[in-house]
Amino acid sequence: MDTTLSEEEVMVRETARKFLEARCPTKLVRAMEKDEKGYPPDLWREAAELGWQGLALPEQYGGSGLPMTYLGLVMHEVGRALTPLPMLSTVTAALTIAAHGDTALCQEVLPKVVSGETILTWAFTEQDPRFLPETVRMRAVADGDHFVLTGTKLFVENFVAADQCLVVCRTSDTGLSVFLVDCRSAGISHRDLVTLAKDRQSEVTFNAVRVPRGRLVGGLNEGAAIAEGLIDRATVLLCAQMLGATRKDMEMAVEWSKFRKAFGQPIGAFQSLQHMCADMLMWVDGGDLLTYEALWKMDQGLPASVEVSQAKAFCNEKCQAVVRGCQVIHGGIGFIMEFDLQLWYRRVCAWTTRFGTAYEHRARIARALLDHPGTVILGQPVPVVAEA
Amino acid sequence: MDFGYTPEQQALRREVRAFIAEHVTEDVLAERGSSESNTGRGEGGAMKRLYEKVYERGWLGITYPKEYGGQGGDRMTQYIVEEEFTRVDIPVGMGGSGAPAIMAAGTEEQKQYYIPGLIKREISFALGFTEPHAGADLASLQCRAVRDGDEYVINGQKMYTSSAHMATHIYLMARTNPNLPKHRGISIFLFPMDTPGITVRPLWTMQNDPTAPIGTTYGHQRTNETFFEDVRIPAASLLGKENGGWRVGAMGLNLDRVGASRYLISVRRDEDIVNFVKLNSFDGYAPAKDPAIRDKIAELWIEAQVCRLMTMRSMSIVEHGGNFTYEGSAEKTWAPEHGVRTTEAIAQMLGPYGQLLNGSPHAVESGIFAHNLQGAFQSGINHGSTQVMRDQICRRGLDMPRK
């Protein structure tokens, strides 16, 4: 048991931080809010040169085979700088392909992800926003050596930038399957959503889109478990990203409080404000601890769903409270568009709504705690029950 | 980062559990009820015999050097042993800030005398810090120690000296120089409670009527006020340097704020309520099926994990040879406040059953949840209030200004 960072982990974090401080100023963040694709291709290539896209992918496909905790450290820095790159959707989809795709598919797709040539995304949610298998209505029907996909997906991140998309479809009354679909396939149309984060999310409609059988990721009708793993990875990495952004926001607010004077002293000397900041520090620290424990469990091959839900439910509410506090500390200047603070506030708010609400994640924890026989002991695993 | 236990640590935990299953017998459990037994001097002798066996296993004083009767072990070993014993309400920690302070500031003679005795639970300290007019602002204390030849003469009053009626010694903070700035005129003394001139008067708590069940957070029935009237002690009773007591005392307090027992007093009701609602219903109403209760229980469970992880963080820092700055204060804020949130939420889950005390008809789990309402908040007051802790978090963790 050791919650401190090793030398190598510190190096991963510091390298990422220095790179993004130099290459991702808020000017770029602002510019990308208005960019059609939402990301700068040269920065994406540089990230690939640093090995980020392939950080946790297997070495046989050109990746570095490093643990998820390392990827978490990088995503923390990606969030800190509000980096406008399709990193989260790409690495999450790529890890899913690496875990469940056959060798041919992995060999075709993953080296190009590692090199930065391919951008990936994934699509699960439809109209019902909950992350439950029964919310998936989009059908994939077998037709010779193809499947025909029909339906509409919502909140698909970076679809406008992505080359390929993992799509979770219903292939039987009780079974889901996952397909890797070329984003420019005939029959696909999309509408862009306007989000708090000013990121790129789309409603994507599949109208009898033909997908070759070889694009099935994992077994037919085995998609529910694959999707759960995908969503868990996306969720925990989003926590890391959110915490990176939230901690930076807190640091800016604390610095502001030392500089800004009122009633003859820095506002940071007022105890009412100090105690707010003490809470903020405890919350981001708590979020970090929960998040890295979940990532560590994934690295050990241990069940981590409860830990992921712990992290996300906590981060949704606490990160929101921290960034709100940072706005309060800044006063009026905090919501002026020219001032950078709002960039962090809007993104963290948006991210708290993604990949499971606090209620959903707590419901999942409650199932693990309450719907099984036996005595629970803190610090020891509790089982998880899939929703019936 | 490594969030797991080594195979050796897992084996140790199994070994401790097996030991507890074998040796924490009915007679031990019966004696456990009186807090006096917890000092190892229980009247029936069962607790004393148990502690002898625990000592033989090398599970007392684990982190203390071998030359002082300890095991020279690490903090995770101590944590694992302490966690398991705390779950059966048998304290095996060093019980307070005295021992770490002696290790840091004591003379060789003091270490040789006190540390082995504390480890074997033959010596125990009452903590003589707080006074009627010095609580959170401890440095304003007025209890006086005046040098007179080879002796000091103590005069004053201490409050909330919780174990003064059964402790063998007192760990006392007194003013040795009233002319220096308040933090710099303070010294620490160690001396026997049977020294002439000491009077201990009980202050009975809310937990006394009826008696709180075992395991209640701050279920102590009694604390004390202690009076010192011309108490003459040898000059060698001084711990550390004269007028240098503030730093020694603060350091010991800081170490006492982290660890297994501090963590567990704040989270045990989380386990209890989960395990209770899983098995119980009221004429067909099952709280475990109630969506509002399920959501609240999960929320509290997450907070409890943060308590655990903050404890692990403090210990990791110390294991690396570092000193935590704000992290111990964060743990000492988050955990007690979480314990209070859990306790108060449980009252709302149980409704009118949540008010029933130990011995009442229909009392739930011997009334522990109701008694906890009388005790949980105390953990946010004792040993540095959560308000004082927050001051430390923003000074040490965020470098925020005083003015």
**Chain segment B227-241, per-residue pLDDT in tens:** 999 999 999 999 999
Find chain B residues with C-beta within 8 A of A1's C-beta: 2-5, 9, 76, 312, 315-316
- Taking phi over 0 as left and psi of -120 to 50 as alpha, with beta for the rest, A355 belongs to left
Task: Residue count of chain A, please give it.
Answer: 388
Nearest CA to A72 out of A214, A244, A187, A229 is that of A244
In angstroms, rounded to a whole number, what is the distance separating the alpha carbons of residues A197 and A238?
A: 14
Beta bridge partners of B147: B152
For A5, which DSSP code? P
In angstroms, rounded to a whole number, what is the distance separating the alpha carbons of residues B103 and B115?
A: 8
Measured CA to CA in angstroms, residue A29 lies from A34, A174, A336, B176, B321 at distances of 9, 43, 16, 61, 41
Find chain A residues with C-beta within 8 A of B286's C-beta: none
What is the CATH number that goes with domain B125-242? 2.40.110.10
Q: For position A38, what pLDDT does the model report?
A: 97
Domain boundaries of chain A, sorted by first residue: 7-119, 122-221, 224-370
Q: Nearest-CA distance from A208 to chain B in Å?
A: 40
Domain boundaries of chain B, sorted by first residue: 7-93, 125-242, 257-397
Find chain A residues with C-beta within 8 A of B275's C-beta: 375-376
Q: Which amino acid is at B93?
A: G
Domains B7-93 and B257-397 share a fold: no
Q: For position B34, what pLDDT does the model report?
A: 61
- Residue pair A241/A351 in contact (Cβ under 8 Å)? The answer is yes
Centre a 10 Å sphere on the Cβ of residue A342 and count the other Cβ atoms it contains: 17
Q: Which helix (H) or strand (E) holds B200?
A: strand B198-204
Q: Which of A62-76, A209-223, B247-261, B366-380 has the lowest mean pLDDT?
A: B247-261
C-alpha distance across the termini of chain B, in Å: 37
- Residue pair B202/B222 in contact (Cβ under 8 Å)? The answer is yes
Q: For position A385, what pLDDT does the model report?
A: 41
Q: For position B257, what pLDDT does the model report?
A: 66
**B310 shares contact with chain A (CB less than 8 Å):** yes
Q: Look at B288 and A379 and tell me if their CB atoms are within 8 Å.
A: no
Q: Does pLDDT of B37 surpass 50? A: no
**B387 shares contact with chain A (CB less than 8 Å):** yes
Find chain B residues with C-beta within 8 A of A281's C-beta: 326, 330, 393-394, 397-398
Q: Which amino acid is at B85?
A: F
**pLDDT for B112-125, tens place per residue?**
999 999 999 889 99
Q: For position B39, what pLDDT does the model report?
A: 52
3-state DSSP assignment of residue B3: coil
C-alpha distance across the termini of chain A, in Å: 35
In angstroms, rounded to a whole number, what is the distance separating the alpha carbons of residues B316 and B5?
A: 13
- Residue pair B355/B342 in contact (Cβ under 8 Å)? The answer is no
Phi, psi of B362 (to 5 degrees): 70, 5
Measured CA to CA in angstroms, residue B137 lies from A225, B207, B377 at distances of 57, 27, 19
Percentage of chain A beyond pLDDT 70 is 99
pLDDT band at B136 (very low <50, low <70, confident <90, very high): confident
Q: Does pLDDT of B180 surpass 50? A: yes
Q: Which helix (H) or strand (E) holds A256?
A: helix A223-259
pLDDT band at B30 (very low <50, low <70, confident <90, very high): confident
In angstroms, rounded to a whole number, what is the distance separating the alpha carbons of residues A97 and A99?
A: 5
- Residue pair B49/B94 in contact (Cβ under 8 Å)? The answer is no
Helix A305-330, helix B291-319: angle, nearest 10 = 80
3-state DSSP assignment of residue B270: helix
In angstroms, rounded to a whole number, what is the distance separating the alpha carbons of residues B364 and A146?
A: 62
In angstroms, rounded to a whole number, what is the distance separating the alpha carbons of residues B143 and B120?
A: 31
**CATH fold of B257-397:** Butyryl-CoA Dehydrogenase, subunit A; domain 3 (1.20.140)
Chain B residue with Cα closest to A363:
B295
Q: Does pLDDT of B253 surpass 80? A: no
**B3 shares contact with chain A (CB less than 8 Å):** yes
What is the CATH number that goes with domain A7-119? 1.10.540.10
Phi, psi of B127 (to 5 degrees): -95, 115
- Are β-strands B125-128 and B169-175 bridged in parallel, bridged antiparallel, or unpaired? parallel
pLDDT band at B323 (very low <50, low <70, confident <90, very high): confident
Best of B76, B305, B333, B342 to disrupt the A interface by mutation (most A CBs within 10 Å)?
B305
Q: Which helix (H) or strand (E) holds B127?
A: strand B125-128
Find chain A residues with C-beta within 8 A of B312's C-beta: 1, 3, 289
Q: For position B256, what pLDDT does the model report?
A: 67
- Residue pair B364/B354 in contact (Cβ under 8 Å)? The answer is yes
Q: Nearest-CA distance from A211 to chain B in Å?
A: 41
Which residue in the set B270, B305, B389 is minimally distant from A290, CB to CB?
B305
Nearest CA to B40 out of B166, B226, B127, B193 is that of B166
Measured CA to CA in angstroms, residue B376 lies from B167, B269, B337 at distances of 24, 10, 9
pLDDT band at B33 (very low <50, low <70, confident <90, very high): low
- Residue pair A165/A204 in contact (Cβ under 8 Å)? The answer is yes
pLDDT band at B41 (very low <50, low <70, confident <90, very high): low
Nearest CA to A311 out of B264, B303, B313, B311 is that of B303
What CATH class has B7-93? mainly alpha
Chain B residue with Cα closest to A375:
B275
Find chain A residues with C-beta within 8 A of B313's C-beta: 3-4, 285, 289
Helix A341-352, helix A305-330: angle, nearest 10 = 150
Which residue in the set A6, A269, A292 is minimally distant from B402, CB to CB?
A269
What CATH class has A224-370? mainly alpha
Mean pLDDT, rounded, for B349-356: 97
Q: Look at A282 and B302 and tell me if their CB atoms are within 8 Å.
A: no
Task: Write down the ipTM of this complex.
Answer: 0.95
For B195, which DSSP code? S
**pLDDT for B145-162, tens place per residue?**
999 999 999 999 999 998
**pLDDT for B265-287, tens place per residue?**
899 999 999 999 999 999 999 99
Helix A7-23, helix A41-49: angle, nearest 10 = 160
Its CATH architecture, for the domain A122-221, is Beta Barrel (2.40)
3-state DSSP assignment of residue B74: coil
In angstroms, rounded to a whole number, what is the distance separating the alpha carbons of residues B384 and B365?
A: 31
Chain B residue with Cα closest to A369:
B274
Helix A223-259, helix A341-352: angle, nearest 10 = 150
Per-residue pLDDT of chain A (388 residues; tens, 9 = 90+): 999 999 999 999 999 999 999 999 999 999 999 999 999 999 999 999 999 999 999 999 999 999 999 999 999 999 999 999 999 999 999 999 999 999 999 999 999 999 999 999 999 999 999 999 999 999 999 999 999 999 999 999 999 999 999 999 999 999 999 999 999 999 999 999 999 999 999 999 999 999 999 999 999 999 999 999 999 999 999 999 999 999 999 999 999 999 999 999 999 999 999 999 999 999 999 999 999 999 999 999 999 999 999 999 999 999 999 999 999 999 999 999 999 999 999 999 999 999 999 999 999 999 999 999 889 999 888 874 444 4
In angstroms, rounded to a whole number, what is the distance separating the alpha carbons of residues A251 and A338?
A: 19
Mean pLDDT, rounded, for B365-373: 96
Chain B residue with Cα closest to A315:
B302
Nearest CA to A76 out of A242, A217, A218 is that of A242
* DSSP of B201-238: EEEE-GGGTTTPPTT-TT--SEEEEEEEEEEEEEGGGE
Best of B309, B311, B342 to disrupt the A interface by mutation (most A CBs within 10 Å)?
B309
Tokens matching residue A73: 């450290």
Find chain A residues with C-beta within 8 A of B328's C-beta: none
Helix A26-33, helix A341-352: angle, nearest 10 = 60
